[in-house]
């Protein structure tokens, strides 16, 4: 089981990983409503190295990116669920709209994104490649997305609360 850590602790973990020659893998996202697509990408990302770090957009950042009605799930809950996944070693929260500063500080060996990104669009690619690392694009599994899930929930339930709530 992984742990939720702040940036300073993560930098120390990164230094130790580098010292011992461990492959440090990094990915990021909002992870508002965790679904199978997220889990599959994280599982594949974790298999690429020794340590997988997931940087999660803060609630404030998600609101700026996705609108005032998001996130659905608070950052404390999103990070706890991610840290409980077998493939995830560490989770951290970042306040900015992109993880560029986090990536520049950590300099991961491998930066992972889903195939909804082209390699040239990946934030932090230049910093990772300049430090000798690489970007890996993992194919998405099906048509799963948080936005699609929210639309389906709205279609099914509209203004009516789900039974049992």
Reduced to 3 states, what is the DSSP secondary structure of residue 7?
helix
**Window from 2-6, 20-24, 117-121 with minimum mean pLDDT:** 117-121
Angle at 162 between CA 159 and CA 165, to 5 degrees: 120
DSSP output for 43-102: HHHHTTSSEEEEEEE-HHHHHHHH-TT--SS-HHHHHHHHHTSTT--EEEEE-SSSSHHH
Q: What is the pLDDT of residues 24-72, one digit of tens each?
A: 999 999 999 999 999 999 999 999 999 999 999 999 999 999 999 999 9
Supply the pTM of this predicted model.
Answer: 0.92
Q: How high is the pLDDT of residue 161?
A: 56
Taking 70 as the threshold, does the pLDDT of residue 11 lie above it? Answer: yes
d(CA 112, CA 28): 8
Whether residue 148 is predicted with pLDDT greater than 90 in this model: the reply is: no
Question: In angstroms, rounded to a whole number, what is the distance separating the alpha carbons of residues 41 and 71?
Answer: 21
- CATH number assigned to the domain covering 1-86+101-117+126-131: 3.40.50.620
Residue carrying structure tokens 């440090």: 24
Q: How many residues does the chain have?
A: 165
Give the whole-number percent of the chain exceeding pLDDT 90.
Answer: 79
pLDDT for position 6 = 97
Which pLDDT value is given to residue 165? Answer: 46
Least confident of 5-9, 109-113, 119-123, 150-154: 150-154
Ranges 7-11, 81-85, 155-159: which has the least confidence = 155-159
So where are the chain's domains? Answer: 1-86+101-117+126-131
Given strand 90-94, what is the order of strands in its sheet? 3-4, 90-94, 51-57, 24-29, 110-114, 134-138
Q: What CA–CA distances, in Å, run from 138 to 3, 42, 144, 146? A: 24, 10, 14, 18
* Residue scoring higher pLDDT (80 or 146): 80
Direct distance between the N- and C-terminal alpha carbons of the chain, in angstroms, rounded to an integer: 30
30, 81 Cβ separation under 8 angstroms: no
Q: What percent of the chain has pLDDT over 70?
A: 95
């Amino acid at each position: 089981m992984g742990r939720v850590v702040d940036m300073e602790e993560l930098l120390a973990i990164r230094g130790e990983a580098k010292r011992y020659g461990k492959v440090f893998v990094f990915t990021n996202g909002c992870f508002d409503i965790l679904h199978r697509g997220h889990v599959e990408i994280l599982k594949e990302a974790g298999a690429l190295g020794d340590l997988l770090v997931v940087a999660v957009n803060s609630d404030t950042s998600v609101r700026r990116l996705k609108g005032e009605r998001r996130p659905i799930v608070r950052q404390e809950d999103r990070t706890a669920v991610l840290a409980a996944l077998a493939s995830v070693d560490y989770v951290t929260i970042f306040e900015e709209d992109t993880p560029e500063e986090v990536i520049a500080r950590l300099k991961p060996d491998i930066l992972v994104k889903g195939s909804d990104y082209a390699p040239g669009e990946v934030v932090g690619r230049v910093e990772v490649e300049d430090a000798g690392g690489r970007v890996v694009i993992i194919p998405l599994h099906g048509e799963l997305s948080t936005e699609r899930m929210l639309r389906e929930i709205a279609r099914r339930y509209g203004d009516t609360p789900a039974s049992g709530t």
